[in-house]
Structure formats: C-alpha cells, structure tokens
Amino acid sequence: MPAFKTKACARFAGREGIGDATLCEALLRARRGLIDADRGGDVIEQRIARRGDGRSGEFRTSMLFRRGELAFFVYGFAKSGRDNLRRDELETFRRLADEYLALDRAGLAAAPAVGVIIEVQCDDQAIQE
C-alpha cells in the first residue's frame, strides 16, 4: 500500500525527529483497524509517540486514508500545543482527500517528481498488511 507525506508534514516530522519508520507504525495500526480518531471523509488522526515519552507525550498526525489502497500524511502537531483541528482545516483535508485519493498510478508517480508529495519508505510488513 503506497504511503506519502506532504511537504508540510515532512517538515513537521523532520523538525520533531519523526522518521518514516514511526509514520509506518501509525499506518500499520490504521491498516489493522486501530484508528485513533475517524474524522470522516477519509480523514483520520493517528497518535505518534514523542521520543522517550511514549504516546502520553504525543503528536497527532492527520492522514488521508483509504484502507488497503492509499495513505497520505498531511499534517502533524503536538497535542500539548493544540487540542484538535479547526472545522475549516478538517473541511480542507476532506476536499484534499477527494483529490489525492483519486490519483491514479501516473499521478502518484508524477507528484513526487515535482515535489508535491514525498513517498514514505515503509518495510514490507507495513505495505503488505
């Protein structure tokens, strides 16, 4: 199952020291049906542990997610910094889900080349589950 991150989410992950392996763990939990928050319209939130603190000192990541097909990490934030997404942000992510999750193979191949999205490097377990 292909997984990608937006440039904004990649900057957040880099700043907070969140590697692809950690994103893949969140993806694997979602693939197994362990979704932390379903926001509707193919938008979910997954918790990500802060290094050394476990998930109690956590980050949240918003994902565009269609089980068994495709996933995009679009936004991340520290739970200590804000409670939840605003309504307008959630609506934007739902519209984005309609566009991103409809991409065909050619679109998925072209988008990283122009820097719109970056492929998340998961091992075979996260991809095959």
Structure tokens at 36: 């932390």
Q: What is the pLDDT along the chain (129 residues), one digit of tens a residue?
A: 789 999 999 999 999 999 999 999 999 999 999 999 999 999 999 999 877 665 556 899 999 999 888 999 999 998 877 778 899 999 999 999 999 999 998 988 888 888 889 999 987 654 444
CA distance 95 to 77: 20
pTM of the model: 0.87
Pairing mode, if any, of strands 70-78 and 54-66? Answer: antiparallel
What DSSP string runs through 8-65?
HHHHHHHHHT--HHHHHHHHHHHHTT--SEEEETTEEEEEEEETTTEEEEEEEEEEEE
**Predicted confidence (pLDDT) per residue in 73-110, tens digit:** 999 998 877 778 899 999 999 999 999 999 998 988 88
Position 126 scores a pLDDT of 47
